[in-house]
């Protein structure tokens, strides 16, 4: 019997959130989408803002580090810190 990591963490919100006031995807930025090795992030074309499309984050952090406007926030689960 084993417990997968997904069952350990109880989360109420997506681990990666985008500050839509800061995101400049509407100006053509796709940095966070491009750097995510798992392709979890996407641009919502109707809003012109990035968002987390798939909730399978590895917490590798380039999306937060490379965003030119500091719009990306990755919430690392307490147990992984």
For residue 67, what is the DSSP state?
-
Minimum CB–partner distance for residue 54 and ligand SF4 (Å) = 9
Q: Which residues bind ligand SF4 (CB under 6 A)?
A: 16, 18, 23-25, 29-32, 35-36, 38, 40-41, 50, 57-63, 67-69, 71-72, 74
C-beta closer to ligand SF4: residue 1 or 27: 27
Cβ contacts of 28-31, under 8 Å, gap ≥ 24: 29/68, 29/69, 31/63, 31/66, 31/67, 31/68
For the four alpha carbons of 43, 55, 73 and 60, in that order, the dihedral sign comes to negative
> Which residue, 62 or 77, has its beta carbon nearer to ligand SF4?
62
Q: Which is nearer to ligand SF4, 1 or 23 (CB)?
A: 23
């Amino acid at each position: 019997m084993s417990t997968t990591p997904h069952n350990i963490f109880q989360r109420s919100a997506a681990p990666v959130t985008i500050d839509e006031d800061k995101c400049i995807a509407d100006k053509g930025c796709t940095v966070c989408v491009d750097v995510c090795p798992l392709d979890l992030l996407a641009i919502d074309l109707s809003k012109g803002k990035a968002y987390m499309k798939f909730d399978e984050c590895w917490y590798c952090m380039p999306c937060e580090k490379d965003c030119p406007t500091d719009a990306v926030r990755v919430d690392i689960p307490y147990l992984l810190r």
